[in-house]
Amino acid sequence: MADQSLRAETRLMTTTSDLATLPDSALARGAGMLIGTVAEDWLVQHSLRTYRFGSALLARVGQEPDAELLYVAAMLHDLGLGTLFDDGVTPFHLRTAAVAGAVVVGHGRSDEDATLVHDAIALHLDLASADDARSVVAGVHLGALVDVIGLRLDEIPAGVVEAVLVEHPRLDMKDNLARVMAAEIERKPYGAPARLEREFGMLDRIRTAPFDS
């Protein structure tokens, strides 16, 4: 009976209905439209997977973040990476955080909501943010790391991973992300991506992530 229940659960978790629902508020739609307007599709899909993987890891430990704000932060966390929002000077995550905070305020949301989205993006390259008490901050970091280097991928049910990859294909994510990150590192050697490359070999970790592409 237990084996049958496990098999049934595994079958269910391969369907997209088991994935975190995509929020549909005006703010959420605005965030999706913004990233879709300025970014290549592989980056849009990465942003969606960040939300889905982050939500799955938070659910695993019983955390229930504000889904709307987690979605907005996940969708916009790479907005300044190789897009027209890159000012050529500011490290992309800090530039992105400022723009995203303004987007939240522009939709009539509170300063507290804007700060939460700002911090989730500004801190998502900080390894310590995995333990941030604010689940939105932790969720963006965790979801992005799953998708970028495969960290904690084994903590997400295989059926969920499969469903996420089907719904949000990677589209040569490893090559594309390594390309734009290398450009970011070269132009901004003082930024967090450059530090992560020096200390952890981030580009190689991106290229060897446990995904097909």
Q: What is the pLDDT of residues 59-105, one digit of tens each?
A: 999 999 999 999 999 999 999 999 999 999 999 999 999 999 999 99
pLDDT at 2: 33
Flag whether 174 is in a domain.
Answer: yes
Q: How far apart are CA 183 and CA 177, in angstroms?
A: 10
Domain of 197, CATH number, reads 1.10.3210
Taking the C-alpha atoms of residue 36 and residue 174, their distance in angstroms, rounded to an integer, is 19
Residue 11 lies in a domain: no
**Does position 11 have pLDDT exceeding 90, yes or no?**
no
What is the pLDDT, as a whole number, of residue 21? Answer: 83
- Whether 178 and 193 have beta carbons less than 8 Å apart is answered as no
- Tell me the three state secondary structure of residue 132: coil
Whether 5 maps to a domain, the answer reads no
In a domain, 17, yes or no: no
The answer to whether residue 15 sits within a structural domain is no
pLDDT at 130: 95
* pLDDT 10s digits, 21-41: 899 999 999 999 999 999 999
| Residues in CB range of 102: below 8 A, 6 or more apart | 114
Q: What is the DSSP string of 168-203?
A: S--SSHHHHHHHHHHHHHHH-TTSHHHHHHHHH-HH
Mean local confidence (pLDDT), 147-170? 97
Give the chain's mean pLDDT: 92
Cα–Cα distances in angstroms (integers) from residue 3 to residues 13, 60, 154, 161, in the given order: 15, 21, 21, 21
Q: What is the pLDDT of residue 18?
A: 57
Average pLDDT for 15-19: 53
- Checking if the pLDDT of 16 tops 50, the result is no
**Three-class secondary structure of residue 65 per DSSP:** coil
| Residue 12, domain member (yes or no) | no
Give me the number of domains the chain comprises. 1
pLDDT-derived band of residue 174, with 50, 70 and 90 as boundaries? very high
> What is the structure's pLDDT at 14?
38
Which domain, by its residues, includes 172?
Answer: 24-207
Q: Does some domain include residue 8?
A: no
Any domain includes 163: yes
Instruction: Say if residues 32 and 107 touch (Cβ distance below 8 Å).
Output: no
